[in-house]
Structure 1
Amino acid sequence: MRAETMHGYYSYLEALPNSPDRDLHEMSHGESFLALLDRKIDSPGFFCLDEPEAALSFDSTLRFLAQLMELRRAGAQVVCATHSPILAAMPDATVLEVGEWGIRETEWEELEIVGHWRRFLEAPGRYLRHLDG
């Protein structure tokens, strides 16, 4: 959820009588997102997520991946659109990549985003030299 959407949802939750979610506004965007997942997505189902990593740090993304893996073990199905090589690394996931070719099934190691991150981390200057400033 976008920060604005989350803020409105948290206000809604806080207004509910006896709400256990009165602390969400006191947390960072990423912390509140993870808390919300811990509290609300706790049983098998079908979850469709669009770039859920946007508010998350590296460590929080790993924690979120662990939550998704636990949901899957419990029988949930998850469809996740992501730019995160961390989330795309979920064991036993079917990985689909969207690009100029359309949609194709691929392996994590073959994802364009994984290649870009590897090259960037090896030598940031390769990418930074193309930026203005």
Structure 2
Amino acid sequence: MSLMKVNQYIRSIELNREKISYFQNHPFNLPIIKDLHTLEFHPKVTYIVGENGTGKSTILEAMATAYGFNPEGGTMNFNFSSWESHSDLYKFIKIIRGVKRPKDGFFLRAESFYNLATNIEILDEGGMSPKIIDSYGGISLHKQSHGESFFAVLMNRFSGNGLYILDEPEAALSPSRQMAMLSRIHELVEKESQFIISTHSPIIMAYPDSFIYEIKEGIIKTEYDKTETYQVMKAFLNNTNKMLDILMK
């Protein structure tokens, strides 16, 4: 086994299938879960892509929670809950770790980012010093646009030597900011960081030397230009008028 493989923060996850007595109910009936045994991760960047409802966010949430992150996002120091919406899947996930532990870490969820920003405000109102928001750029995340606040976390809070699990980060970012995010990911990878990302964005999923898992009926490892996300976007941009004619009929 290579030194890089041993040193990465999450080497793989395993689904403890023998402890699951039913695969008919949510979330165990999702395409990503029903045939899952082991999922290996790249030391740098791993993507999980697929249509809505295939289980991308569910598996990332379970993995992050099993690792020790708050289900609604943030670092492992956050312990808030706005709504108990996360599944019990994390109880059946076994994390296979490398020998090296991250010095930093963050679980970024587009779905519950507002709750995270609110929790930071509440904690800082309690008179903590230094204020938590200082490590996010010093400006309230609620006083920035959705995209600006996302980018503030990426640029200020992520410091390197970290494990970063990102669930659909493109939700708030323009195409140019998505490209800037790729650049930032590379800076952090150069600082010995590992990323696991679910995304619908062909820009964000373009990082070279990465693993891409696509969920359809099951989950398969694939190549960037073979993903449905890439092919659909390319077809639309290359034949916009023709595609619009088809869609408008």
Which TM-score applies when normalising by structure 2?
Answer: 0.48
Residues 47, 76 of structure 1: 8 Å contact kept: yes
Structure 2 portions without partners, runs of 5+: 1-108
Residues 13, 22 of structure 1: 8 Å contact kept: no
Structure 1 partner of 2:173: 56
Cα deviation, 1:29-51, whole Å, max 9, x if unaligned, reads: 01110101222211222222111
Cα drift, residue 130 of structure 1:
4.2
Cα drift, residue 120 of structure 1:
0.3
Cα deviation, 1:14-69, whole Å, max 9, x if unaligned, reads: 34135324432221101110101222211222222111111100011011111111
Structure 1 partner of 2:140: 23
Structure 1 partner of 2:154: 37
Q: Secondary structure at the match of 1:119?
A: helix
**Farther off after superposition, 34-43 or 51-60:** 34-43
Q: Assess, with a 3 A threshold, how the Cα gap between structure 1 residues 132 and 118 changes in structure 2: closer, same or farther.
A: closer
Structure 1 partner of 2:216: 99
Question: What CA distance in whole angstroms lies between the structure 2 residues aligned with 1:85 and 1:2?
Answer: 17
Runs of 4+ in 1 over 4 A off after TM superposition: none
Structure 2 partner of 1:11: 118
Cα drift, residue 128 of structure 1:
2.5
Structure having the larger proportion of residues in helix: 1
Structure 2 partner of 1:2: 110
- Is residue 70 from structure 1 mapped to residue 163 from structure 2 by the alignment? no
- Equivalent position amino acid for 1:40 in 2: R
State the structure with more CA Rg.
Answer: 2
CA RMSD across the alignment? 2.1
Q: Secondary structure at the match of 1:96?
A: strand
Q: Assess, with a 3 A threshold, how the Cα gap between structure 1 residues 63 and 87 changes in structure 2: closer, same or farther.
A: same
Question: What CA distance in whole angstroms lies between the structure 2 residues aligned with 1:87 and 1:31?
Answer: 17
Cα drift, residue 132 of structure 1:
5.5
Which TM-score applies when normalising by structure 1?
Answer: 0.84
Higher relative contact order (CA 8 A, sep 6+): 2
Question: What CA distance in whole angstroms lies between the structure 2 residues aligned with 1:50 and 1:7?
Answer: 14
Structure 1 partner of 2:233: 117
Question: What CA distance in whole angstroms lies between the structure 2 residues aligned with 1:2 and 1:50?
Answer: 6
- Equivalent position amino acid for 2:238 in 1: E
- Equivalent position amino acid for 2:110 in 1: R
Q: Indicate the percent of aligned positions where both proteins have the same amino acid.
A: 34
Residues 14, 22 of structure 1: 8 Å contact kept: no
- Is residue 85 from structure 1 mapped to residue 202 from structure 2 by the alignment? yes
Question: What CA distance in whole angstroms lies between the structure 2 residues aligned with 1:122 and 1:72?
Answer: 32
Structure 1 portions without partners, runs of 5+: none
Q: Assess, with a 3 A threshold, how the Cα gap between structure 1 residues 23 and 56 changes in structure 2: closer, same or farther.
A: same
